[in-house]
Amino acid sequence: MNSFTEENYLKALFNLSNEKGEVSVNELSRQLQLKMPTVNSMMKKLAEKKLVIYESYKPLRLTEKGKKEAGIIIRKHRLTEMYLVEKMGFGWEQVHDIAEQIEHIKAPELFARMDTLLGHPTVDPHGSPIPDKNGKIRWLHYTKLSDCAEGETVKLAAVTHSSDEFLKFLNGRSLNLGVKLRIKKIESFDGTMEVSYGKRNAETLSKIVCEKLLVEKNL
């Protein structure tokens, strides 16, 4: 059985691998805000458990066993977030820290019941895919709002950044998943967008915000 700490390493390595492809010890230490010797020591430990492939001066890689375990941790986290939002009335900006604690519970039947009660959701409240019970994840191919063109109408499908501050920012502008956005104007100088949606005719979004919003095109 893995410790909370080991599970957090697996989850961080899984997410970084999917984001960047190859992950160095240095990148993992930055992500976890830990010193390199600490991370190296843990990688040796996880390699002994056949969860990570760890070789000097080479990128870190999860084994198939490591990917499965990391996927199941992420599944528990995202199912919990969905349950808190859909069944308990939490805001999407309130659920991350609670899910961080619950994801370590060793009770498959609890998460199976959550899954059933929710109707087997495929994404969490932030639009991120929920791995299946074997830890397999089906990646969804969305486009950054910042990569869209003037005149397009798109649907907000996910956010890449789910900090409390960012989600509160979106709440304040009634920007929820499923909202259809029409791109009215893009400022050539800095990529700022003017969009309309719902009852809002001219909402201005900075490029930083647009890069964190993932959308579906070809509606």
Sequence ranges of the domains in the chain: 4-62, 143-216
Q: How far apart are CA 46 and CA 54, in angstroms?
A: 9
Q: Are 55 and 44 in contact (CB under 8 A)?
A: no
Structure tokens at 208: 């930083």
- Kindly indicate whether the domain formed by 4-62 is annotated with CATH number 1.10.10.10: yes
- Kindly indicate whether the domain formed by 143-216 is annotated with CATH number 2.30.30.90: yes
Structure tokens at 189: 């100088």
pLDDT in tens, 175-203: 999 999 999 999 999 999 999 999 999 99
Domains 4-62 and 143-216 share a fold: no
Q: Are 32 and 12 in contact (CB under 8 A)?
A: yes
Structure tokens at 121: 């959701």
pLDDT in tens, 47-99: 999 999 998 888 999 999 999 999 999 999 999 999 999 999 999 999 999 99
Matching residue, tokens 């994404």: 123
Q: How far apart are CA 129 and CA 195, in angstroms?
A: 26
The mean of the pLDDT values for the chain is 93
Helix (H, G, I), strand (E, B) or coil at 203: strand
Q: Are 78 and 128 in contact (CB under 8 A)?
A: yes
Going by the DSSP 8-state scheme, the letter that residue 111 receives in this structure is H
pLDDT in tens, 100-145: 999 999 999 999 999 999 999 999 999 999 999 999 988 888 999 9
Q: Give the per-residue pLDDT at 218.
A: 76
